[in-house]
Amino acid sequence: MDILKREIARRVFAFELSRSNYATAESGERSPKYILTPTGVKCNRVFMVGVLLEKEEVSPDSNFWRIRVSDPTGVVTGFVGRYQSEALESLLEIEPPEIVSIVAKLNLFQGETRNLLSLRPESINISDRKNRDFWVIETAKRTLERIKRMKEDGDRNDDIKLAMDIYNPDLKEYLEIVKKAVEAVREEAEVFAERGKEVSEAKGELGIVEEAEIEEIEETEEEQKDEIEKRKIEELKLDSFEFDEFEFEEEEWDLSDILDEE
């Protein structure tokens, strides 16, 4: 008996997922279905860390919920029902807005005029900013790798050739989306650093205050210090991005030779 291997959960930004509308499958009765994204990666499952913006029961007492999850690049929709029991149990305990991590299969609704991709979560867990920032950084790296492969291997990789033919993606646009995501994390890190500084200054100006109040402020300061240290670590990772190598000359973005390949 053949044992089906669990597919890798890919890291893909919401911007790209929301534009993915082509399904494909390998030969075989029980072969998994994939969604081909505009940057040429086939996804059966994804891993995402973002903000659960809202959850809504599709109809009263249906136990079938619609969710919306955002990352720094956009928003994706998902549906959770009784067949995703683990995810449903967790979802019922979470009140939006909340940072969550999600492992989900992808589902493509094929309509008369267009196809719509949605998440079908297998698991949903409360997360935090540290994990969200790490996910953004790793997803940015994976996206840059795919952009580079599309530029360099478009005539040698079947998935990339198919993505080019179906989507004809503007790679400059995807590069800008990656920059936007990384900058969002960097700016938030700076905000947390500034808040930590304000807490320290406020403590110095207190003079004589009740002991309980001092302890409360010190506890808050420690939390802020932890956040600042986390952000410093993440900023080092952000600075490691070499976007310049993706700033191609204008004529290098003419993809007609790839699109015309048989």
- Judge whether 183 lies within some domain: yes
Residue 85 and residue 146 in one domain: no
- Judge whether 58 lies within some domain: yes
Task: Specify the pTM.
Answer: 0.74
- Judge whether 260 lies within some domain: no
Q: Considering only residues 255 and 28, tell me which one the structure prediction assigns the higher pLDDT.
A: 28
- Judge whether 257 lies within some domain: no
Residue 105 and residue 147 in one domain: no
Residue 127 and residue 143 in one domain: no
pLDDT tens profile 86-128: 999 999 999 999 999 999 999 998 777 777 899 999 999 999 9
Residue 126 and residue 218 in one domain: no
| Mean pLDDT comparison of 13-17, 31-35, 153-157, highest-scoring range | 13-17
> Looking at residue 61, which CATH number applies to its domain?
2.40.50.140
Residue 125 and residue 190 in one domain: no
9-10 vs 42-43, strand pairing mode: unpaired
Residue 142 and residue 127 in one domain: no
Residue 111 and residue 80 in one domain: yes
CA-to-CA separations, 30 to 104, 105, 107, 109, 153, in angstroms, rounded: 19, 16, 16, 20, 30
Range of the domain at 233: 138-157+169-247
Residue 74 and residue 113 in one domain: yes
Residue 104 and residue 143 in one domain: no
- Judge whether 143 lies within some domain: yes
Residue 108 and residue 61 in one domain: yes
Residue 91 and residue 200 in one domain: no
CA–CA distance, 95 with 55 (Å, rounded to integer): 8
Q: What angle do CA 47, 74, 138 make, to 5 degrees?
A: 40
- Judge whether 27 lies within some domain: yes
CB 106 within 8 A of CB 44: yes
State the pLDDT at residue 225: 52
pLDDT tens profile 54-77: 999 998 888 899 999 999 999 999
Task: Give the number of domains in the chain.
Answer: 2
C-alpha dihedral sign at 160, 163, 165, 170: negative
Q: What is the mean pLDDT of residues 187-212?
A: 54
| Mean pLDDT comparison of 24-38, 181-195, 210-224, highest-scoring range | 24-38
CA–CA distance, 178 with 92 (Å, rounded to integer): 32
Residue 24 and residue 96 in one domain: yes
- Judge whether 1 lies within some domain: no
